[in-house]
Amino acid sequence: MNDLKETLLRNKKPLLVILGVTAVVFWFLGNTFLNLVHNKLELKRLTKLSAQLDREYELQQARLELLQKQDPVYMEKLARVDYHMSAPGETEFRFHAK
């Protein structure tokens, strides 16, 4: 029985030393590690936002080209949808959802 206690005590000291060293390292580097994780997550979020903004930019560039060319199909769609215009002799119907 005494041999078992002595073995546990001998094995406990290195474990406590390792735990203490780990605690000291995290004490000094813990904030840096958390900042690193935060920065990595922020970089991922901003990369996703950048890709979304690139897609929106391309869409706006395409719309600008259609406006500069005065594409008749696009101009008619724009007038009908955005400005609620209709051709002469047409009747516009509006349905409102409840």
Q: What is the pLDDT of residues 10-51, one digit of tens each?
A: 667 777 788 888 887 777 777 787 888 899 999 999 999 999
Kindly indicate the confidence band of residue 91, based on its pLDDT and cuts at 50, 70 and 90. Answer: confident
User: What are the structural domain ranges in the chain?
Assistant: 2-83
Global pTM reads 0.55
Residue 71 DSSP symbol: -
In degrees, to the nearest 5, what angle opens at C-alpha 56 toward C-alphas 54 and 39?
Answer: 45
Helix (H) or strand (E) holding 54: helix 2-69
Cα–Cα distance measured from residue 45 to residue 51, given in angstroms and rounded to the nearest whole number: 10
Residue 1 DSSP symbol: -
Cα–Cα distance measured from residue 61 to residue 52, given in angstroms and rounded to the nearest whole number: 14
Q: How many residues are there in the chain?
A: 98
